[in-house]
Structure 1
């Protein structure tokens, strides 16, 4: 049953589960060109009302952006950090990483640029510390940002010898110091932030890109993982999965 729809060549993100009413944001995709060949983009906010029988979304606001988006993610905060209305983080194709306070940004029209360091193609907030944001950039560089002090980003200890963009990035949902990322040639790396080094590397035999990552947190041992690879692959439907093995991260 179709509840609502929106036709946009855009990257998108839902509001955090704790926020009501439900809303969604779309950013003009960096991989799309219109007939004008413009490189400018927009960030649009929509409210979702599942009680409304109409398929249309309620348009809440739009912000012009100087460039287009690789990635959008969202996070809510209840401790006064950047206020409690929530934050949208966007990685842009001009090399900027931008945080948007939805309420203030749409009312003021300002673009608060956090940092510029090549291009940020992978983003994820820490599930344990909401003020930590990980971003992946060109040349397989990973940056950890603390939202209360955005002037300096922490980088991973030893840079991987890869000259590719980070296509996907994901924090482990059970082990707070474990981070994974993938590049367009199909290599997936699991990084231990405490040891400051990679602990697992997996490569696709056919060099297929890995656009998304997900930790299968219910599977905690390698033997259990090996018993159910087909089942897990089919469940995700993406052809890519990453198992969180406890013995690899302790």
Structure 2
């Protein structure tokens, strides 16, 4: 049947069943890729970058960035390419799509990729969409805007500031954090180093695994690490505001996300199979987590808080599951069908409420509709 989504799109729902009171969603779109993904914030496109650690059946070592056209009115499950693939220097840990430059000469904004080799690459998606080939030289047809070279380890944290679209934060396995100003995308500038975020004895104290800008206060940034420590940074003061770790569970942290509505609340997840938890923290009392969400049976690899309904949170992990939580009740309310391998990336569509993208190491990126599940 067809389900109304947003103001103008109809999405074909393949099937919905209820198992143990959880809504199990059928896929609406799918493609054969082991890739991390990013939805366009302004247009019906989905970008995909070859995921680090994934090997296809041909054992290919190549990496690429692709953009796909999304048409929810089309009942076909296939997602067509919007332009030729772009070969990249290495594989991706993170891929984000921002609106920087959208009002000038970058109508589709900027795609930023955090790569295994420690670089952050910036692309102009307008030069990928519709292109049949790509110029790899310095010509005007080359979609690569520039390579940001600051980190010496794989870039695992990457996010555009939701208030100032020209600001991009990156964090890497070398423990370093960087804030980039993309006002001039072909020659970005680097903000002064955050105090305690680099060098011997730095505050991050290990591999930065994830970072996120606060959704209410534009100069607040959080990062989490393999040591289990989460740090909240104040960019105005160029220093940490607070750091915390669970005193009872000193486990590796893999990802975090701020509550879109509550400025002091964030969720931190662990990819430790011995303690695959999601912890809700409130910075007004960061002695211990406010709530712990448990349902995953192996480590959690990605979380995403719904921008249009803050009671909903997505998580996915090494147990091959992607879950949708009611954060107020602390319960799982929906689940997509389990894959045959780790689910490593999950994203909400910023343009179409209820649509999410999920990626797994079984070589598939799929789109689902959770509107009926949360009803």
Bin for the TM-score computed over the shorter chain = 0.7 to 0.9
- Give deviations 1:1-59, integer Å, cap 9, x for gaps: 3321223211111111xx23x11011111121345554420111111111001111111
- Does structure 1 residue 86 correspond to structure 2 residue 119? no
Residue number in structure 2 paired with 1:178: 220
Contact 2:123 2:145 survives alignment (8 Å) = yes
Name stretches of at least 5 consecutive residues in structure 2 with no aligned partner.
1-12, 14-26, 136-141, 265-281, 296-311, 317-375
- Bigger mean CA deviation after superposition, 199-208 or 186-195: 199-208
- Give the alignment's Cα RMSD to 1 decimal: 2.9
CA distance in 2, matches of 1:175, 1:220: 7
The offset of 1:161, in angstroms, is: 4.4
What is the TM-score when the length of structure 1 is the normalising length?
A: 0.81
The offset of 1:129, in angstroms, is: 0.7
2:161 to 119, 126, 130: 126
CA distance in 2, matches of 1:66, 1:199: 36
Say how many residue pairs are matched.
234
- Does structure 1 residue 23 correspond to structure 2 residue 45? yes
- Bigger mean CA deviation after superposition, 142-151 or 228-237: 228-237
- Structure showing greater radius of gyration is 2
Residue number in structure 1 paired with 2:30: 5
Residue number in structure 1 paired with 2:147: 114
- Does structure 1 residue 148 correspond to structure 2 residue 183? yes
The 3 A distance-change label for structure 1 pair 105 and 56 is closer
Contact 1:73 1:123 survives alignment (8 Å) = yes
Matched ranges for 1:1-250 at <5 A: 1=13, 2-16=27-41, 19-20=42-43, 22-34=44-56, 37-61=59-83, 62-76=85-99, 77-80=101-104, 82-105=105-128, 107=131, 108-109=134-135, 110=142, 111-117=144-150, 118=152, 119-149=154-184, 150-154=187-191, 155-159=193-197, 160-162=202-204, 164-204=206-246, 205-219=248-262, 229-230=290-291, 235-236=312-313, 238=315
- Give deviations 1:124-169, integer Å, cap 9, x for gaps: 1111111111111233211111112435312212222455321111
Find the residue that maps to 1:66 and give its secondary structure.
coil
Question: Higher relative contact order by CA 8 Å / sep ≥ 6: 1 or 2?
Answer: 2
Contact 1:123 1:169 survives alignment (8 Å) = yes
